[in-house]
Amino acid sequence: MRFVVSFLISLCLCACRPSAVAPETGTASRSAPVVQIPLDPNAICSALNEAGLVGSRWKEGAAGFGCVSPELALGPREPGTSVSSSVWFEVRGTEATSATTIVLGGDVRVPEAESAVRNKLASLATLLVKKLNLTLDNTLPAAIQSNAPYEKRIGDFAVRYHSEMVGKVREDRLTIQRAL
């Protein structure tokens, strides 16, 4: 009886032991290295500037470090007003040398601009992923184009896309964030 109890305890301890996750396949592996992706804030901000979202430089603020862009208007304006749909970015961090969160946002305020916003977000996401040397397949741009939720873990980072209605505005968000 003691042998059976000892065997079951050993089995439980082995099953509960944490293991590394291989970045490409998602399968457990002891020897698979954890992918370290440096998020150089100046490189990120300048990559987004090159894509047409000219934002501020990386600087310290009340809530840490960051850089942001003003909204880039896209598509038609709402008749009789100056309201338009837009895309923008925000990069945040807690240190002067490392970003922890990148957000690409699209706000659809005029329904006729929905495809223009998604097209721009998909192209910005593709450029950003390329500049960061992240290994992602083409499912991210496809998810943005079809407005489908997307979530994938790459090393220490979580990549997420989601969209929701907030009042009369559809908020599309792509977030690349260092996992806690």
Q: What is the CA radius of gyration of the chain?
A: 21
Domain coordinates of the chain in residue numbers? 41-178
Q: Quote the pLDDT of residue 38.
A: 56
Q: Quote the pLDDT of residue 12.
A: 33
Round to whole Å and give the CA distance between 6 and 126.
Answer: 53
Q: Quote the pLDDT of residue 15.
A: 33
Both tokens of 168, joined, read: 């009369």
Q: Quote the pLDDT of residue 2.
A: 39
Written as tens digits, the pLDDT of the chain (180 aa) is 333 333 333 333 333 333 333 333 333 333 333 334 457 888 888 778 777 788 788 889 888 899 888 899 998 887 777 889 999 999 999 888 888 999 999 999 999 999 999 999 999 988 888 877 777 778 899 999 999 999 998 777 889 999 999 999 999 999 999 876
Name the pTM for this structure: 0.72
